[in-house]
Amino acid sequence: MIVAVIRHAKVDMKWKFMMTSAGYDKGCADYDTAGVLPVTVRLPETEFERIYVSALPRTTATARLVFADREFESTALINEVPERSGFDTGLKLPMFLWSVISRIQWFFNVPRQPETRAQTRLRARKAAQYLSQKNEDCAVFCHGFFMIFLLQELEKLGFKIDHKRLHYSNGEAVICRK
């Protein structure tokens, strides 16, 4: 069984450098609906029985670039870990700082974030179990941060992961075999 976990293509959006909390929240929402740029994805020579995409449009758009006319199965189980501003303020802060604050709150399971670390781990476990139970060669188009947790859960289920990182490039595929 082969599971190819692929990060979506680069999103066609330019973030503002400085923004308020409301501006950051709007930027996150805009990012979730933005298009993607062309990408090349390298996959093993196999006939994937099923292709999974997240419920966010950028994974479907990436899958279309790779698999053109195939049908995709969409599931929110493989969505990106959502973000929102760490606090409400009219003060403008750099975008990267908003993102760092958001991820710190996520790590410490602060309920201000739409999903806590515990919830992310549970969702990744459910996704990995679902893929494993299907027992079919498949391609999974998901998101960079969530990929880390999905790959960890697949490894716990006995999959051999071809490479592990803390950051995956857009269009990068990680091949998992069982």
Chain-centre distance of CA 82, in angstroms? 10
Angle at 124 between CA 119 and CA 125, to 5 degrees: 100
Instruction: Report residue 113: phi and psi, to 5°.
Output: -75, 145
Q: Which CATH number fits domain 2-177: 1.20.120.530, 1.10.10.10, 3.40.50.1240, 3.40.50.720?
A: 3.40.50.1240
**Tens of pLDDT, residue by residue, the chain (178 residues):** 999 999 999 999 999 999 999 999 999 999 999 999 999 999 988 899 999 999 999 999 999 999 998 999 999 999 999 999 999 999 999 999 999 999 999 999 999 999 999 999 999 999 999 999 999 999 999 999 999 999 999 999 999 999 998 899 999 999 999 9
Length of the chain: 178
Q: Which of these, 105, 157, 161, lies nearest to 126 by C-alpha position? A: 157
Instruction: Look up the pTM and report it.
Output: 0.94
